[in-house]
Structure 1
Amino acid sequence: MKNKQDISALLLRLVLGVIFIGHGVAKFQGGIGNIAGWFDSIGLPGFLAYAVAIIELVGGIAMLLGLATRIVGGLFVLVLLGAIVKVQLAAGFIGGYAYDLALLAMSAYFLLNGSKLYSLDHYISKARNK
Structure 2
Amino acid sequence: MLENADLGKLIIRLTLGGLLLFHGIAKLFHGVGFVESQLASHGLPTFLAYGVYIGELLAPLMIILGYQTRIGALIVVINMIVAIALVHTHELMSLSRSGGWALELQGFFLFIALALVFLGPGRYKLHS
| Length-normalised TM-score, structure 1 | 0.80
1:5 aligned residue: 5
Correspondences of 1:1-130 after superposition (within 5 Å) = 3-33=3-33, 35-91=35-91, 92-95=93-96, 96-120=102-126, 123-124=127-128
C-alpha contact 1:89 1:97 (8 A) present in aligned 2: no
Structure 1 or 2: larger helix share? 1
Deviations 1:80-121 (A, max 9, x none): 11112221121344343221111111000111121123212x
Q: In structure 2, how many angstroms separate the alpha carbons of the residues matched to 1:26 and 1:42? A: 23
Q: Which letter does structure 2 place at the counterpart of 1:39?
A: L
Cα deviation, residue 34, structure 1:
5.2
Q: In structure 2, how many angstroms separate the alpha carbons of the residues matched to 1:101 and 1:64? A: 19
C-alpha contact 1:20 1:59 (8 A) present in aligned 2: no
Q: In structure 2, how many angstroms separate the alpha carbons of the residues matched to 1:56 and 1:85? A: 17
Distance change >3 Å, CA 39–CA 26, structure 1 → 2: farther
Q: What secondary structure is seen at the aligned counterpart in 2 of 1:94?
A: coil
| Length-normalised TM-score, structure 2 | 0.81
Please report the RMSD computed on the Cα atoms of aligned residues, expressed in angstroms.
2.0
Matched positions, count: 121
Larger RCO (CA under 8 A, 6+ residues apart): 2
Q: Which letter does structure 1 place at the counterpart of 2:51?
A: A
Q: What secondary structure is seen at the aligned counterpart in 1 of 2:122?
A: coil
Q: Which letter does structure 1 place at the counterpart of 2:117?
A: L
Cα deviation, residue 38, structure 1:
4.1
C-alpha contact 2:6 2:124 (8 A) present in aligned 1: no
C-alpha contact 1:39 1:45 (8 A) present in aligned 2: yes
